[in-house]
Structure 1
Amino acid sequence: MEASTVAIVTGASRGLGQALVTSLLKSGTQVISIARNENAELAEQASACGAVLQQVRADLSDPSAAQACADRIAADLPRQAQRYLLINNAGTVEPISQAGDLADAGAIAQAFNLNVTSVIVLIASFLRATPAAADRRILNISSGAGRNPTPGWGVYCATKAALDHYTQVLNAEDHGVRVASLAPGVIDTGMQAKIRSSDSSQFPSVERFAQMHEQGQLPSPEAVAEKILRYIANDSFGTTVLDDIRNHA
């Protein structure tokens, strides 16, 4: 018996992505997870829940790997589900540097490939592979950094701004899907640990993030994942294309 909902989640091996997959599996959703590495814990959870989990290994910062991944998912995607979800969660905050030191073209290209290019390619496959009659929803995990300039995050801000604008274009094209680009707020993940280790000369806001962590102000990935899944399941999803989870209970 096929699941009524099929979800694709990128960046699923840890942090928010892992928390999203865990919650989806508990709800009986069939999940296709995409990450650089497989996650044994998720496999165990799927088995315990009796849910279907397909883990796809792919480095989405590599354009050829992202394309191959998108093509594979399009070919394997079940065609009889009532609802299809695509959650583009994978992303990187690196390189973190002031403008004068952003001289590594390869690192910059990798960030754009992961944060923007792979999203566009996966969405194209999702649109082609899912039946038009189904309830299709696309959620791009963005950031407040795409809407507010942050010194030291030139690349991250640029990629998230590009993601936001692409989502608006996708919505304007009206493909019969509901779409949103969502800022999830600051979460207690590995990305935050990386941010807190930044050089203050390159990222002047590092102390503010360190204080948030020390004062216990960072919500867990699990708590944020639950809010995001309630948000994407709501009948109003897609009404606000550029959104922030902090606007929702």
Structure 2
Amino acid sequence: MTDKVIVLTGASRGLGAALAEALLAADTLLVTVSRKPNESLQKLARERGAQLLQIAADLSDPLKAVVGAEKVAAALPESASSYALINNAGMVQPLALAPQLTDGPAIASAFNLNVTAVILLTARFLATTEGRARNRRILNISSGAGRNPQPSWGVYCATKAALDMYTRVLNAEQRANGVRAVSLAPGVVDTDMQASIRNSDPARVPVQPRFAELHARGQLSAPAQVAARIAAYLRRDDFGQAEIDDIRNYD
């Protein structure tokens, strides 16, 4: 019998890869959804005697996200005592000031990955686990950008604000069914996303110098450190009391 089941998106690199490593445990089935498998994670799972299933899916494509969600649903065992879904996959691009946001496909991809895929995966997760366990948790990795406007981040800010509101809707609908949802900001983490911002043109991305300075001063959090704190947060007895939260509140 599998004690715990955790589904995690975006586990191939950055914070998602660090989260996957933090969540691997003998009593847990970890199901990851990423564009490609993480070979080092598979090796680590074997070393720890942990259960790991990696599902390949491009969540920025809604049709492929639907297929990925169906594969996740089929992989969820019926006998677990708890189920958790961590919607971590996301992108910050396109970065540009409002008059320059003219790349429709790029904007659509960001909304598809940051919002649409979350809704699709959550729908299948909820429907599949209905009646299986009272302990069902959904953790949406959001951002302070969804709560504080950042010049040139119009698309990213909008998607994360949408994620925050969607989380509130989930709680309004599903709390009576044993579901607790949280939209959690992880802080400023040293990932490829941050590198993308630092490498941007300051004329198009006015906040670039600030993030370059944070990196130069060593003020970006290490992914493994943040992942450990998020993994502990997921296990908290009071998970869900604050539906819009920030991991930096728990330093």
Residue equivalent to 2:46: 47
TM-score by length of 2: 0.96
**Alignment-derived partner of residue 122 in structure 1:** 121
**1:168 aligned partner:** 168
User: Is residue 81 from structure 1 mapped to residue 80 from structure 2 by the alignment?
Assistant: yes
CA distance in 2, matches of 1:16, 1:76: 23
TM-score (normalised: structure 1): 0.97
Runs of 4+ displaced beyond 4 Å: none
Indicate the residue corresponding to 2:65 in structure 1.
Answer: 66
- Aligned counterparts of 2:231 and 2:26: Cα–Cα separation in 1: 10
> How far did residue 176 of structure 1 move?
2.2
Tell me the residue number matched to 1:220: 222
Cα gap change, 1:158 to 1:34, in 2 (>3 Å): same
Q: 1:197 and 1:173, CA in 2 relative to 1: closer, same or farther beyond 3 A?
A: same
Letter matched to residue 169 of structure 1: V
Contact kept? 1:79, 1:131, Cα under 8 Å: no
Paired letter, 1:70: A
Name the aligned partner's letter for residue 203 of structure 2.
Answer: S
Residue type of the alignment partner of 1:210: A
Contact 2:55/2:71 (8 A) holds in 1:
no
- State the secondary structure of the residue aligned to 1:210: helix
> Residues of 2 paired with 1:19 and 1:231: CA distance?
15
Q: Unaligned 5+ residue runs, structure 2?
A: none
> Which of the residues 169, 178, 181 maps onto 1:179?
181
Identical pairs, percent: 56
**How far, CA to CA, are the matches of 1:11 and 1:140 in structure 2?**
12
* Cα offset, 1:26, TM superposition: 3.8
In the alignment, the residues of structure 2 paired with residue 170 and residue 47 of structure 1 have an alpha-carbon distance, to the nearest angstrom, of: 35
Match of 2:153 in 1: 153
Structure 1: unaligned runs, 5 residues or longer? none
Please give the alpha-carbon distance, in whole angstroms, between the structure 2 residues aligned to 1:203 and 1:235: 40
Q: The residue matched to 2:95 in structure 1 has which SS?
A: coil
Deviations 1:157-200 (A, max 9, x none): 00000000011111111242010000100001111111111110
Which residue type is aligned with residue 134 of structure 2?
A
Task: Give the AA of the match of 2:140.
Answer: N
1:115 is displaced (CA, Å) by 0.1
Secondary structure in 1 matching 2:24: helix
Aligned length: 248
TM alignment of 1:196-207, pairs within 5 A: 196-207=198-209
What is the rounded CA distance, in whole Å, between the counterparts of 2:196 and 2:21 in structure 1?
24
- Give the structure 2 partner of residue 238 of structure 1: 240
Deviations 1:62-120 (CA, angstroms, capped at 9, x unpaired): 00000011111112211111111100000000000011110011100000000000000
Structure 1 residue identity aligned to 2:195: A
Paired with 2:2 and 2:46, the residues of 1 have a C-alpha distance of 15
Aligned-residue CA RMSD (Å): 1.0
Q: How far is 1:27 from its partner?
A: 5.8
